[in-house]
Structure 1
Amino acid sequence: MNPTRRRMLKIGATGLIGGLSLPRLLQLQAGAPTPAPAAAQACIFLFLEGGPSHIDMFDMKPDAPQEIRGPYKPVATSVPGTRICEHLPRIAKLAHKYTILRSHSHNDNGHNTGYHYVMTGYKADFPDGNSKAPNNHLFPSIGSIISRELGPKSPVPPYINVPDVMAGGGPGFYGSKYAPFVIDANPSQPDFEVRDLKPIEGIDAERRERRRKLLAAAEAPTAKGRQESMETYYRKAQELITSPAARKAFDIASEPAALREKYGYTSLGQCALLARRLVEGGCRFVGVDHSGWDHHFTIFPSLEKDMLPHVDRAFSALVEDLDQRGLLDTTLVVLMGEMGRTPRVNKDAGRDHWSMAQSVVFAGGGTKPGQVIGATDKQAGAPTTDPVGVPDLLRTIFHQMGVDTTKVYNTPQGRPVPIVDGGKLIKDLV
């Protein structure tokens, strides 16, 4: 016997069906399917700032002339037919756990403007060279959008930048409520400590509350925007100080020494490990900024000795660690920079800016592993398959996170700004 609408409402109102809301009751009555949860509950965004060389890492061209292919050799991976750089041996062994997108392409060849574009999906309204961080005063970043749309799920902030603020990672016109919590410290350092987590000695909870009320009363009501901004920061700091769960999530020193060594005692390695802890603690989006990839001079010694070993250990350890803890399926890991590098080695034995082709690596979060999507020409200079642009990339990440990309918000001036301006889902990936 099918219950009537009135009977269903009465049952729901008396609480006999625990945990069922009115919309859910009506959905059951209509026989509608329950919406599936988002594939990814969190995203770890490893940003290789400066422009990692795709042709020397994930899109090698061994048959090209020496001045294009460079000195490195491709090696086999755990996926037959997929080959990557010999200096990424750990990542090569895990190729069945991730997918390489080789056809990412856009037309912004600047560091600051390209960073802005990748993080927001909108072209910068300033010339390249603006080193202010964050530089997106109008358009919100991907992390701020996720923070606004999904909200916090624990005392850990929903959006975090480590080890410093990301150059396109601000909240834009969304305001300070959706700004990242910036750790502003390097977790690879022995004296690493997260600000705002350590209570002031000699001040108990009652005294802190009295101070908070006094501060709120003392704030001038004139500059409304600044007042609201400061109140947001004070509230966030108070929540962190009083939350054991938040302090635990940031406590990287509690990790076994062997695991920390596996990630590598480098900025990227320890930031990746901390990102895993933050995701476990409930963070929605962790943006890791790793600089040093702008190799206009003597690129190969730098890549071989420093940059490639660091990313090899950090990325492989993160994917394995998440997988072993049962978190990889629900955590999307993205490895990329703002651009790639020129196919041809320049006169200074370096490679210059090249946004027309770049490789992006995805793992977990409901993506299909063990693939190579897209291809570039014989010089890794341009896609020979359909290019994947920044809006496509962001739309796909939002889709996996369960963010409604059809939403539009108005700026304070009334200008409508879609969450994603165009783009399409990378179907082969999801």
Structure 2
Amino acid sequence: MPRPILSPTRCEGTLPRRSFLRASLTGLSTLGLADLLRLEAAAAGAGAGMGTGPQSGPSIILIWLWGGPSHMETFDLKPDAPAEYRGEFNPIETNVPGIVISEHLPRLAKIADKYALIRSLSHDSPGHMNSTHTVMTGYTGEIVETPPYKPKQPDIFQAAHKLLPSRLPGLPQWVALPRVRYTGGGHFGESFGPFVVTADPNDPQFQVPALSLDEGPRSRLSGRGRLLDDFERMRRTVEQTEQVESLDSFQQQALTLLTGTTARDAFDLSGEDPRIRDRYGRDEIGQRCLLARRLVESGVRLVTVDFPCVPGQKAFSWDDHASVWNIFEQMKIRLPVLDRAVSALIEDVHARGMERDTLVVVMGEMSHTPKLSNHQGQPGREHWGKSMSLLLSGGGMPMGQVIGATNRRGDEPVDRFLRPSDLLATWYTYLGLDPHAIFPDQTNRPIPLLPHGEPIRELV
């Protein structure tokens, strides 16, 4: 199959913006929602033939462990390593013979047949942003450790957002809960970022996403400041005016998103069985994972869940330096939350028959050093990308397996050495995209989605 060379498409002939309806998505500058829909439509046209059609096709839920979870405390423990490496935690057996994981992940241990572990992902990028750039774009050598933290190449979520059509009108293509740490479209431009929902779904008042209206419409549509009231009052306004008939199709799509029920229903957790909500955990992390499942089931293609810490605890990331805190104390707080939420998500996806078209990924941008460090008697681990572990579930891929291995000390791979570009090639292939498709940059130079890398054969 020849690799398509697609050019960014500019939408022409659009009608002037109207003061009646202007909206923006949280975290996406000041572009009107209708303008964003036009750009998405143009992008979908450019990507026609590369992916699956609307209202169908694969989705990804990424649980992002910002800061970098240590593989030595999660999925690749080394009980026979020297004391200065192995740490305090013990491995436990899973329901798949031969696969062992941390003792603080007992629920995940019971469902190892429903996920695959990669233990040999490796890169040389040192810092958090630099590592995220490498892991999310496949490109290395980019210095992005200073603001504004924008990659020169599009990350996989921006690329998928641009190249794949929306699955269902009235829903965003990509939702980030509650933030995205690092993203950029590179030469694709900045119009394909996520719809960011910062509100806490565990809040009893949480009902709808954080759509925001410009002050003009907001002042006319609602005097109470509650977004749900804005929806209702806007609907009544539309019913009483013929102005809607003069809006172009993209403005009407925006109106559908703002006043329809599709988005509201997708974000409404009130109808969920309380037992399901309890199973995920009645905290921000658990309820965001549940919301991710609801969004994908409703038609959202991409959902990213940022899990830096346990609410109310001092840890603000998985960046377990000895100079910051005791890694074992913090892992004992975080791992049970991760265990509960991710195991519930995986079981829920399977119970609802979504496992072929939903890929759940749990990972961070790096790991931490296999050899422990010490600061004033406090143990920790430092930045390390040379031996990373991650979990994947679903996507129609073979589960119940471990791919790759590290040496006795856990500091480098000894089997199935894999680069982030191999992981991304796997994701692109799963999404129905050619990982090496070529696109021109702003200077018309041909740039591939990935510079190298092949899909991981054990998964595709």
TM-score normalized with structure 1 length: 0.81
8 Å Cα contact 2:133/2:151 also seen in 1: no
1:93 and 2:110 matched = yes
Q: Does 1:247 align with 2:280?
A: no
Q: Which residue in 1 is equivalent to 2:238?
A: 205
- Give, in whole Å, the separation in 2 of the partners of 1:40 and 1:394: 18
**Alignment of 1:169 onto 2:169:** no
Mapped partners of 2:293, 2:268: distance in 1:
12
* Residue in 1 that maps onto 2:330: 302
2:152 aligns to what? Answer: 138
8 Å contact from structure 1 (residues 105, 357) kept in 2: yes
Of the three residues 210, 213, 216, the one matched with 1:195 is 210
Aligned to 2:412: 382
Letter in 2 for 1:87: H
Instruction: Specify the SS of the correspondent of 1:303.
Output: helix
| Equivalent pair of 2:231/2:258 in contact (CA under 8 Å) | no
Greater Cα radius of gyration, structure 1 or 2? 1
Matched, 1:84 2:101: yes
Q: 1:425 to 1:66 in 2, by over 3 A?
A: same
- CA separation of 1:208/1:397 partners in 2, compared to 1, >3 Å: closer, same or farther? farther
| Greater percentage in helix | 1
CA contact (8 A) 2:52 2:164 kept: no
2:381 paired residue among 323, 338, 351: 351
Structure 1 letter corresponding to 2:429: H
Match of 2:89 in 1: 72
CA drift of 1:184 comes to 2.1
Aligned residue pairs total 375
1:73-124 deviation digits (Å, cap 9, x = unpaired): 1111000111110000000000011110000000112111111222222236
Matched, 1:323 2:350: yes
> How far does residue 151 in structure 1 lie from its aligned partner after superposition?
1.2
C-alpha deviation, 1:206, in angstroms: 5.1
**C-alpha distance in structure 2 between counterparts of 1:140 and 1:245, whole Å:** 29
Cα distance between partner residues in 2 of 1:418 and 1:310: 38
> Partner letter of residue 419 of structure 1?
L
Structure 1 runs of 4+ aligned residues shifted over 4 Å read 35-40, 206-214, 234-237
Deviation per residue, 1:179-206 (Å, 9 max, x gap): 2111122223333342227435543225
Cα contact 2:232–2:259 (8 A) shared by 1: no
Residue identity opposite 1:139 in structure 2? Q
Structure 2 gaps, min length 5 = 1-49, 212-226, 309-316
Which of 404, 409, 412 pairs up with 2:439? 409
> Hey, what does 1:13 align to over in structure 2?
none
What whole-Å deviation, never above 9, does each CA across 1:260-307 have from its counterpart, x for those lacking one? Answer: 1111123321111111001011111111111121111300011112x1
1:311 paired residue number: 338
Q: State the partner residue of 1:152.
A: 166
Which stretch of structure 1 is more off in the superposition, 116-125 or 253-262?
116-125
Shift of 1:210: 4.2
Q: Confirm whether residue 58 of structure 1 aligns to residue 83 of structure 2.
A: no
1:410 to partner: Cα distance = 1.5
Q: What are the superposed Cα offsets for residues 316-369 of structure 1, whole Å, 9 maximum, x if unpaired?
A: 000100100000121111111000111111113111111001101111002110
Partner Cα distance (1:207, 1:138) in 2: 47
Amino acid at match of 2:106: P
SS at structure 2 position matched to 1:329? coil
Residue 318 of structure 2: which of 293, 309, 318 is its match? Answer: 293
Give the percent of matched residue pairs that are identical in Structure 1 and Structure 2: 39
Question: Cα offset for 1:255?
Answer: 1.5
Letter in 2 for 1:294: D
Residues 364, 148 of structure 1: alpha-carbon distance in 2 compared, 3 angstrom cutoff: same
CA contact (8 A) 1:109 1:355 kept: yes
When residues 141 and 50 of structure 1 are mapped into structure 2, their CA distance, relative to the original with a 3 A threshold, is same
Contact 2:133 2:142 in 1 (8 A): no
SS at match of 1:252: coil
Give the Cα separation in 1 of the matches to 2:111 and 2:241.
49
Q: Who is 2:391 aligned against?
A: 361
CA distance in 2, matches of 1:213, 1:64: 71
In 2: Cα distance, 1:310 partner to 1:200 partner? 34
Q: Is the 8 A contact 1:42 1:279 kept in 2?
A: yes
Q: Distance in 2 between matches of 1:258 and 1:283?
A: 24
Relative to structure 1, the CA distance from residue 418 to residue 293 in structure 2 (aligned partners, 3 Å threshold; closer, same or farther) is: same
* Structure 1 residue 37 displacement after superposition: 7.2
Q: Unaligned 5+ residue runs, structure 1?
A: 1-34, 217-230
Taking a change above 3 Å as real, the CA distance of residues 212 and 409 of structure 1, as seen in their structure-2 partners, is farther
Q: Which amino acid aligns with 1:313?
A: R
> Contact conserved, 1:40 with 1:366, CA < 8 A, in 2?
no
Residue 226 of structure 1: aligned partner: none
Native 8 Å contact 2:71 2:368 kept in 1: yes
2: distance between equivalents of 1:235 and 1:188? 32
Instruction: State the SS of the aligned residue for 1:384.
Output: strand
SS in structure 2 at match of 1:403 = coil
Seen in structure 2, the aligned counterparts of structure 1 residues 270 and 47 have a Cα distance that, compared at 3 Å, is same
Change in 2 beyond 3 A, CA 1:408/1:265: same
The 3 A distance-change label for structure 1 pair 127 and 157 is closer
Residue in 2 that maps onto 1:334? 361
Letter in 2 for 1:81: G
Q: Name the structure 2 match of 1:6.
A: none
- Letter of the 2:350 partner, please give it: D
Equivalent residue, structure 1, for 2:25: none
